[in-house]
Structure 1
Amino acid sequence: MRLVIQLAVVAAIAVVGSTLVNAVASNPPLTLIIGLVTAAAALLGYRWVVRRTEHRPIDELSRTGAVPTLALGTLIGVGLFASVILNIAFLDGYRVLGWGSPAGAVALVGFMAAAAVTEELIFRGILFRIIEQWTGTWTALVLTAALFGLSHLFNPHATLWGALAIAIEAGAMLAAAYAATRTLWFPIGLHFGWNCAAGAIFSTEVSGNDTPDGLLHAVMSGPTALTGGEFGPEGSVYAVLFASVLTVVFLWLAHRRGRIVSRREARTAPRTTLAP
């Protein structure tokens, strides 16, 4: 029941925020403001509903170290996507033609902030965390990664390969990032940094969403395996490969720090002991 209640609260905020952002998409400053407000409202809504349904401190959103952890995740996300683009560009799959739209980049920052926060709260803060308490880390990672990939099948230029790529490179990686750190600030930053680099900086398609130009005006061409086609670079084999390597690193850190929950531990431990 707590899972349903928590999902309902955060999803409602996400839907309202997304509707408002889309309604003012032609006004970049307002889009930025509404996007940031949506992100803040989702964080407050999550803290409120989890406290009411689980009666515990919200350690996964602790204010202690929040800013540097969020910043580190963002930098890694930007660097990871930049590495993907550089490799695609090396094979002539990505070319910068000039400057794009700074105003568009501002709007995309707001949109990506709202998307990163609400999606991380839903998929890692609620689904992964609670399923992990029931089944252990590995099952929770596989199930939530699959759900995350499937959720992207509703995007305009979605493909089965794109959904699978998202499940591997984002669903699994972000769940592993949370398992390694036990704070939502890190995967939120990682998600936000990746999306901002993709849309607001390099002006590529983000998950097949007809993303407008960001800071640069660029074109992509070549085999779909290289560029991701209409779905965007997230459908590139480079994105899957690089993110998979980072997923392994995060899981190794989680294991080393003793943060992998086994199925037996999930079955026998009181739920409060498994809270982050």
Structure 2
Amino acid sequence: MSKLTASAGLAWIRQGFGLFRKQPGGLMLLMLAFMVVAALLSIIPLLGQLAQFILAPVFTAVFVQACAAIDGNQRLTPDMLRPIFQKPIFPRLAGLGSLFVLAAALLAVVMVSIVGSDTIRALAEQKLTPEAAAAGNFGWAMLVVFLLSLPLSMAMLFAAPLIYWQKMGVGKSLFYSFFAVWRALRTFILFFACWVLIIMLTTKVVLLLAGGGLFGMALVQSLWMIIAMIFQCAVYAAYCGIFGAPGSPASPSADNAG
């Protein structure tokens, strides 16, 4: 893989904003469709919530395909999305989501084993006091879970588009995604640090202008939804920068990421 400079992360963010500006209406409609599906699934107790996480990589594949269409100055059509819902892509994406659910469950077990069930119960009931959090090593537990979740996030970042565009299996996609991020770690540190800064600054500006009431919080929620879409566009730009544009011959980075 060609060595990426840290500034490449800024370029991906700019490209993400540029993609969103091309077809904001279509991307908003796509996000709305996802929210409707999520709301319908949430009606089903427990299983519906699990299904949302299992199907999250499917939505990721849909969204990056939308980004590819926009990047190619095309309109997204159902024909473009059909392969995502066919074999072998759909089972692999669902398998990826299932692995994520399993990993999240293991992280939850680690959390409970450190802080204890009483602290978790108090947190769920919003009765966790600073004294109880300190006594239960809550801060230490959060740090441990955060550190353990980093390799999971690195492996998941590009796994869905690799399954979809590169026709990789679940394990291979996780491997390639992890090492792609690892070998450009400085770039991704700047990339994610900028996104944290963007979220913090824009949220603060909205709350200062609209206040912290119901209207202000509604605007913040809408802002976060837009930022989430632009972030996905930037992840697509990062994928292209590392693995090559979809439909093009595999880049050297894809062959040598391991």
- Global fold match (TM > 0.5): no
Larger radius of gyration, structure 1 or 2?
A: 2
TM-score where L is the length of structure 2: 0.31
Higher RCO (Cα < 8 Å, 6 or more apart) = 2
